[in-house]
Amino acid sequence: MRTQGEELITVSGLSAGYGTVPVIRSVDFTVHTGEIFAVVGGNGAGKTTLLSTISGLLHPTSGSVRLAGTDITGWSPERIVAHGLVHIPEGRRLFTGLTVAEHLRLGLWNVPNRRKVERERTDRVVDLFPVLGERMDAYAEVLSGGEQQMLAIGQALMREPRVLLLDEPSIGLAPVIIQRVFAVVDRLREQNLTVILVEQRVNQALALADRGLVMRHGRIEVVGTAAELAEDPVLRAAYLGAAVAGEQRNKE
Ligand SMILES: Nc1ncnc2c1ncn2[C@@H]1O[C@H](COP(=O)(O)OP(=O)(O)OP(=O)(O)O)[C@@H](O)[C@H]1O
């Protein structure tokens, strides 16, 4: 077990929704520096809503979010990005008509001395995702799904964020590509980056994560280490059923 870093994100009593419809209710948890923190739960549990509220896309109806001790509740998404928290939404949201190189450069938006740091940071991203280095002049729309996901992560890394919110990076990807993307997320912890990972692939998410939580109907059901979550009977029954059955079959 890795030693725990300092408390980096503190979510307290956070509630938010759309219009008058509440979605997440009284959510409390903390994430430490360098952790990969998994957020799992069924469809519509409120995982994306939670990420959007942390990154400032949605305003909470109550509660607070602190980032490295600073209360960022109610800040604009741009200000939160500048403070080191970058949200990669589900579906990657890349620009058709912009190349890989242009997307990476765009990742430096508003970064001081961006011309000076561009080369070095691009090299670091290419070191993590060599395929992007081979496709610098390709337009985003001609990339495969896996390459698009790598570009979305690479673009976020150009800012050298402290925290990455990653929403369903595996969606629509072949298993072998998912493994590659997850392997990179695993390498990010060596750089002391903190990641909050929303994932439907609960087994893989928990294999990667240090800690995490399970959401149900907008509330936290369990929060703990990845090992504790994997052993949780409710989680096993609800989300790991196939894996448990598979293990059983293998024993027989
Ligand atoms: N823009 C929106 N306007 C109104 N309701 C929304 C909006 N986005 C999500 N919801 C509702 O909020 C609830 C939680 O959705 P959310 O996307 O946060 O869940 P989720 O756990 O991320 O689910 P999924 O894994 O299916 O993406 C759902 O009932 C959903 O219909």
Task: With a cut of 90, say whether residue 98 has pLDDT above it.
Answer: yes
The pLDDT tens digits of the residues spanning 18-73 come to 998 999 999 999 999 999 999 999 889 999 999 999 999 999 999 999 999 999 99
Task: With a cut of 70, say whether residue 244 has pLDDT above it.
Answer: no
Q: What is the pLDDT of residue 236?
A: 80
Domain-embedded: residue 67: yes
**Which structure tokens are listed for 137?**
């002049």
The atom number, within ligand 1, closest to the CA of 51 reads 18
Domain that holds residue 160: 7-251
Domain-embedded: residue 1: no
Tokens 């009593």 locate to 13
Tell me how far apart the alpha carbons of residues 176 and 228 are, in angstroms, rounded to a whole number.
27
**Are residues 158 and 122 in contact, defined by beta-carbon separation less than 8 angstroms?**
yes
**pLDDT (average), residues 10-16:** 98
The pLDDT tens digits of the residues spanning 119-150 come to 999 999 999 999 999 999 999 999 999 999 99
ipTM more than 0.90? yes
Domain-embedded: residue 152: yes
The atom number, within ligand 1, closest to the CA of 90 reads 27
Domain-embedded: residue 34: yes
Q: Is the CB of 49 under 6 A from ligand 1?
A: yes
The pLDDT tens digits of the residues spanning 142-197 come to 999 999 999 999 999 999 999 999 999 999 899 999 998 999 999 998 888 999 99
Region of 218 (left: φ > 0; alpha: ψ -120 to 50; beta: rest) is left
Task: With a cut of 50, say whether residue 3 has pLDDT above it.
Answer: yes
Domain-embedded: residue 98: yes
Domain-embedded: residue 2: no
Q: Where are the alpha helices (DSSP H) in 88-170?
A: 100-106, 114-128, 130-134, 145-157
Q: Is the CB of 41 under 6 A from ligand 1?
A: yes
**Are residues 38 and 230 in contact, defined by beta-carbon separation less than 8 angstroms?**
no
Tell me how far apart the alpha carbons of residues 73 and 54 are, in angstroms, rounded to a whole number.
8
- Per the structure, the count of domains in the chain is 1
The atom number, within ligand 1, closest to the CA of 45 reads 21
CATH number of the domain enclosing 218: 3.40.50.300
What's the CA angle centered on 91, arms 90 and 92, to 5 degrees? 95
